[in-house]
Structure 1
Amino acid sequence: MALVLLLVLVITEIGFAVFELTKSTTKKDWTKRQLGVIGAEILIYLLMLVLPGIDFSFRFKGFVILLAIRIIFAFISFLINRKNEKIKKKVFIVLGKLFTCFFIIGSLAPAFIFKDYNGRPLMGSYEVAESESILIDHSRTESFETDGSYREVPVHFYYPENAEVIKEHSLPLVIFSHGAFGYYQSNTSTYMELASHGYVVVSLDHPYHSFFTKDSDGKTITVNPEFIQDAMRIQNGGSEETEEEIYEITSKWIELRIADMNFVIDTLEDTVSTNNMNETWFVNDDSKNSISNIIKLIDIQKIGLMGHSLGGATAVTVGRREDVSAVIDLDGTMLGEEIGVKDGNPIINEEPYITPLLSVDHEAHHQERIEAEKTGYNYVNNIILKNATEGYSTYFKGSEHMNFTDLPLFSPTLAGLLGVGDIDAGKCIDQVNSLVVDFYDSFLKDSGEFEVQESY
């Protein structure tokens, strides 16, 4: 429907321009008719709100702002020129309408890039609520800043509604880490599904690794450009660095993320134990009660970690903690388990992995693991799963890296640029979410034996 709206608006503008070009138009008449055309376009948009795909969401925010600016300036122009009998030059009519069409197309671009996505149907019995806070780590200064400020980690909670009627300290905690230049909402359907089954889920942002987030001053923090360049270069195989140099780069990434996740776990455990939100917590006044109720729900004896891509690598290494009961890696190379490089080959942490671990790969990643096994290459995922006391692995046929997030459903265009397969995106993420719930039910709720197919 966004395309229909765009075509109607462009045709309206072109038709108006053609009409004006066929006659000599005074500036007085031009501004009056221009005001009427913009008013008609506003009416068209409002009438089309009844149709699917047209709404007041962020997808149309730029367009609404453009309409508001245009109607204001058109009205001001009308007042200024209401007695102006000079002829409007045709070249200005043409240029004006060309620029108008350009701005209309640009303002509607988000409606084409992003879909009208409202999440996946929930299979659990609980309705889901959300809240958020920022945790301030007073033991670390922000390495991406020069002002001596502390590292801040935004945390976003997904949990069963009516938390006050649920037994205290009865719900397992799952903490999620997003991928490189992802952000906390990358797997919202997964968080929602878990929360609907009686879990408290915390999705954390890694500032400067996250596409965007906000700090305690309300400032928007965008992804660090150098981090993007390094990540894209290394991921696409265009890096000229040696294995040792690549390790130096990636180990810094994972070190930062591991510190963030450890900090979140430690803070939540301390807050649950003491029932006190200290100066570490930055919470808006309207969120304090909900955060307090969430804290009372958490059973810190039942902690699960998970993440996508670089976030999965983070979860795996932090998952060696004794207080973590289950870990899921969604298509991540377990970089935190690489402890060095020797003669151009990675040195892998050979200690047994005793935390139950589920690894989910896209099809090409699975084939890479098989090839590494055949050639004897020390691929970290193979070694960690081999040394795992309870290690499970599966892959999805026809999938690519971004199929394990909500992005293909939210923005097929962006997902296509980052890697999406021909598998049905909705069915894929639903199956992933079902596996996630089954895995955590088994190891965090002691609910039956976990089983997984070789592939889906």
Structure 2
Amino acid sequence: MRFFEIVVIVFNLLLIGWILVAKKKPVPWLLIGFGVSTILILIHGVIEGWRWQMIPAYVMTVVPLVAVAGRLLFKSEQSAERVVTKASRVKRIALITLAVIYSSVAVALPLILPVFTFEEPTGPYKIGTVTYDWKDQARDETFTPDPGDKRELMVQIWYPADAQAEGETELYFSNPDVFVEGYSKLLNMPKLLFTTFAYVKTHAIENAAISNREPSYPVLIFSHGFSGHKNQNTFQIEHLVSHGYIVVGIDHTYSSTASVFADGRVANFVPQDTESIAYLDKANEGWVADAKFVLDQVEKLANNDPDRRFTGRMDMSNVGMFGHSFGGATSAQMLMSDSRIKAAINMDGILYGKQRIPAEGMKKPFMMMSADDSIEVKNTADTVSVQIIEETLPRYKHVAVGGNYWMKIKDMKHMGFSDLYLFSPIYEKLERVDARKAHRLINDYTQDFFDHYLKQQPFKLLEQNMGEHPAFELEKG
């Protein structure tokens, strides 16, 4: 919960407890309690924003007024403090029981559906961000009926910002209503459950000055999973940027939760045949084309940025790529097909795409991160998933060949590689995943991998932690 949410709830709980337990409740004190509670709620609303999950806590504010009204019904202090009968004792116990139940709901709702936060980045840099709307005039858009429609992509770039950078940090979603609708449809759950997205903040400052601490910074391309979005791995992106990387996130239009273009147009997710391996192999070619086009545009920025932010500041001789799920598969394909990509990480992505990993390995630095749950064939009613795993597992045969790495994370699920489980602790409980612990592990090893291959720094973790560990198994070919 946010700070003032906690203050409001704690104060109102103490106030109700006092009203129920205290024998004497002077009217002036009841009115003061009401006034303080009202002021706290107003401060909370102005600074943090009101939300429906806090309604039970807000309602507690009127309890002192109800108590005052009850006092006024009595004609005298003696009648108000009359001898307690058996019936009145039962009534009192019932009121206390109802108050406890109601208070439990008031506390549970904002805890179950919190305005989640991202952990403070551990690196020395602050984080700047800027967003672009890029159109590839060389490619037709195949998801729309308009024959003249060209492929258009929303791209967000995060970069190391000056230590003195100041400004309002960006919201997780600049258009929360669009993504509330998108998540509701994709997960088949009520919109109300996702309204907290409107309040979630990141650590990024829009248009902040780029840091002069280093002359240039390695560039990483990020590709999301099917129905994901360009900032679905904010936990990881912010960590990498704080340690001196420029990260470029792509929204793969019509395959993302939603893409909101610069002029306000919205391209929502288009359902696709995710049960066909042949279809997904072909679809991946489009994602690879997206990544290549974005990399072309990034090169232009590095050479001559109209805003003078990135000119000469992007180290285009050290470019890597990472992605989750289908975006992870895209990263592997880019490593094999685009000479500009020097190193890549695939986070739990089935190895879809045109090319297969050769028997001699990638011959370029590569790391596969897998959830143990994703590479096990288990007894389940989902026969399609079992079939896909069985048919694609042979594609992993040469993953670690040639000195590359395969990390298998234990007690992990597919979506644990994204921000999703931060949305509610219920997700973590149901999936039995400690999301923040998993994120720290992912961040540490992602940074170690790219630090070595793109910054030429010695390994601190990968080479030192081969084999079996309580949280993971690490293999090197």
The TM-score bracket by the shorter chain reads 0.5 to 0.7
1:311–1:376: structure 2 CA closer, same or farther, 3 Å change rule? closer
1:257 aligns with 2:267: no
SS in 2 for 1:293: coil
- Distance in 1 between the 2:435 and 2:410 partners? 12
Partner residue in 1 for 2:228: 182
The amino acid across from 1:142 in the alignment is E
The superposition leaves residues 31-63 of structure 1 with CA deviations (integer Å, 9 ceiling, x where unpaired) of: xxxxxxxxxx9x978633667xx7866883899
The amino acid across from 2:331 in the alignment is A
1:387-398 superposed matches below 5 A: 388-398=401-411
SS in 1 for 2:376: helix
Return the offset for 1:217: 2.4
Of residues 308, 327, 330 in structure 1, which corresponds to 2:347?
330
- Distance in 1 between the 2:422 and 2:377 partners? 26
1:210–1:56: structure 2 CA closer, same or farther, 3 Å change rule? farther
1:367 aligns with 2:364: no
1:50-449 superposed matches below 5 A: 60=51, 114-147=113-146, 148-162=148-162, 163=210, 165-168=212-215, 170-224=216-270, 226-227=271-272, 230-231=273-274, 234=275, 246-272=276-302, 274-276=303-305, 289=307, 292-320=308-336, 321-337=338-354, 352-368=361-377, 379-386=393-400, 388-412=401-425, 415=427, 421-449=431-459
Gaps of at least 5 residues in structure 2 are: 13-33, 59-107, 163-209, 379-385, 472-477
1:428–1:378: structure 2 CA closer, same or farther, 3 Å change rule? closer
User: Is residue 358–residue 391 contact of structure 1 (8 Å, CA) maintained in 2?
Assistant: yes
Return the offset for 1:201: 0.6
- Distance in 2 between the 1:50 and 1:58 partners? 9
The TM-score normalised by the length of structure 2 is 0.61
SS in 2 for 1:133: strand
Q: Number of residues paired by the alignment?
A: 333
The amino acid across from 2:439 in the alignment is I
1:35-46 superposed matches below 5 A: none
Return the offset for 1:365: 2.4
User: Is residue 240–residue 447 contact of structure 2 (8 Å, CA) maintained in 1?
Assistant: yes
The amino acid across from 1:433 in the alignment is N
The amino acid across from 1:176 in the alignment is F
1:376–1:120: structure 2 CA closer, same or farther, 3 Å change rule? closer
- Distance in 2 between the 1:397 and 1:307 partners? 20
User: Is residue 301–residue 310 contact of structure 2 (8 Å, CA) maintained in 1?
Assistant: no
- Distance in 1 between the 2:110 and 2:265 partners? 26
Does 246-255 or 202-211 show the bigger shift? 246-255
1:401–1:219: structure 2 CA closer, same or farther, 3 Å change rule? same
- Distance in 1 between the 2:109 and 2:135 partners? 33
The superposition leaves residues 405-447 of structure 1 with CA deviations (integer Å, 9 ceiling, x where unpaired) of: 121113445x56xx97323211110111111111100110010
- Distance in 2 between the 1:222 and 1:46 partners? 41
User: Is residue 350–residue 392 contact of structure 2 (8 Å, CA) maintained in 1?
Assistant: no
- Distance in 2 between the 1:358 and 1:110 partners? 40
1:427–1:213: structure 2 CA closer, same or farther, 3 Å change rule? same
User: Is residue 397–residue 423 contact of structure 1 (8 Å, CA) maintained in 2?
Assistant: no
Return the offset for 1:113: 7.0
- Distance in 2 between the 1:62 and 1:422 partners? 24
The superposition leaves residues 280-302 of structure 1 with CA deviations (integer Å, 9 ceiling, x where unpaired) of: xxxxxxxxx3xx31343210000
Q: Which has the higher contact order (CA 8 A, sep 6+)?
A: 1
The amino acid across from 1:383 in the alignment is K
The superposition leaves residues 312-363 of structure 1 with CA deviations (integer Å, 9 ceiling, x where unpaired) of: 0010001112221110011111101567xxxxxxxx7657411211111111
Partner residue in 2 for 1:80: none
The superposition leaves residues 184-214 of structure 1 with CA deviations (integer Å, 9 ceiling, x where unpaired) of: 1211011111111110011111111110121
1:275–1:412: structure 2 CA closer, same or farther, 3 Å change rule? same
User: Is residue 250–residue 335 contact of structure 1 (8 Å, CA) maintained in 2?
Assistant: yes
The amino acid across from 2:399 in the alignment is L
The TM-score normalised by the length of structure 1 is 0.64
User: Is residue 173–residue 304 contact of structure 1 (8 Å, CA) maintained in 2?
Assistant: yes
SS in 2 for 1:193: helix
User: Is residue 59–residue 111 contact of structure 1 (8 Å, CA) maintained in 2?
Assistant: no
CA RMSD of aligned residues (A): 3.7
Return the offset for 1:261: 0.6
